[in-house]
Each structure stands twice: as C-alpha cells, then as structure tokens.
Amino acid sequence: MARAGVDGMLALKNELAFVYRAGGDMRPIRADLDFRLIKSDGKVAFVDTKSFAGEYFTYSQLDPRQLQRALVYATHRVPAGFVVWLNKADQVVFYSAHVVAEAGPGSRFTAAQGVLLGGPLTFSLQGVFA
C-alpha cells in the first residue's frame, strides 16, 4: 500500500481490487478514485488526481464511473472529487463531485469553479475538507 504524510494528513493510494471468476481466476478491477486522505482528527476524503495541459478541462474529459463513485461518497457528506493540476494556469484546484455533477455535460471548468489549493509544488490539501 502506497502511503505518504502530506500536509498533516495521511494520503493512501487506493489499491487494485480483484474479482474471482469461474475456475479460480482473478481479474483485476481498477480503483475508482486514486487516493484516500485521512486527517489526524479521523476525517476522510476520497479524490482522484488529474492533470490537464490548458487552463481548463471539460466534463467529457472525466471518467463517468469516477464521478459516480465520488457522488456516492459526497452524498454521505464525505468530501470527494477531483484534485486537478491545470498546467497552463500553474494551479492545483479541487472540484467537488457535487460541483462537477451540477454543471453537467458540456461544461468547462476553470480554477474559478473549484477550491484553489495552490501551485504544483506548494499546494495544500486542506481545502478538500473546506
């Protein structure tokens, strides 16, 4: 299990899971979201990490399964969404699952629609819990 202490919290890389098939074969299943963030007070968030070359990304660039999984967590008041590095803007931004889902298909997301976490070398994940 990959783990790191980041910004006063534990970041755990979600591992692959497996489904058993007939004959005892196992088939790997990719984790829906990349990381679990665990704060020292026990609060947990689930995020997927993305990187886009421009100053924005579009709804269609996200995997619908990941958005659906993030919405499951968010519906139960667990922070969930996407931590995105917008390369051209040189910003790391958190977009909650609710913000993305409410905007819907055809939407475009700039830093203004999310929670600015900082630059690529100096960002703080605390904003995911805001």
Residue 92 — φ and ψ, nearest 5°?
-110, 125
pTM score, whole prediction: 0.85
Contact, 35 vs 4, CB < 8 A?
no
Copy the structure tokens of residue 101: 């889902």
Contact, 47 vs 34, CB < 8 A?
yes
Calculate mean pLDDT across residues 94-111.
Answer: 97
Return the ∠ at Cα 128 (arms to 122 and 130), rounded to 5°: 110
Give the model confidence (pLDDT) of 46-93 as tens digits: 999 999 999 999 999 999 999 999 999 999 999 999 999 999 999 999
Copy the structure tokens of residue 108: 């475009």
Query: What is the percent of the chain with per-residue pLDDT over 70, rounded to a whole number?
Result: 92
Domains, in order of start, for the chain: 32-129 (3.40.1350.10)
Spacing of C-alpha 42 from chain mean position: 18
CA dihedral in degrees (33, 13, 127, 90; nearest 10)? -90
Contact, 80 vs 115, CB < 8 A?
no
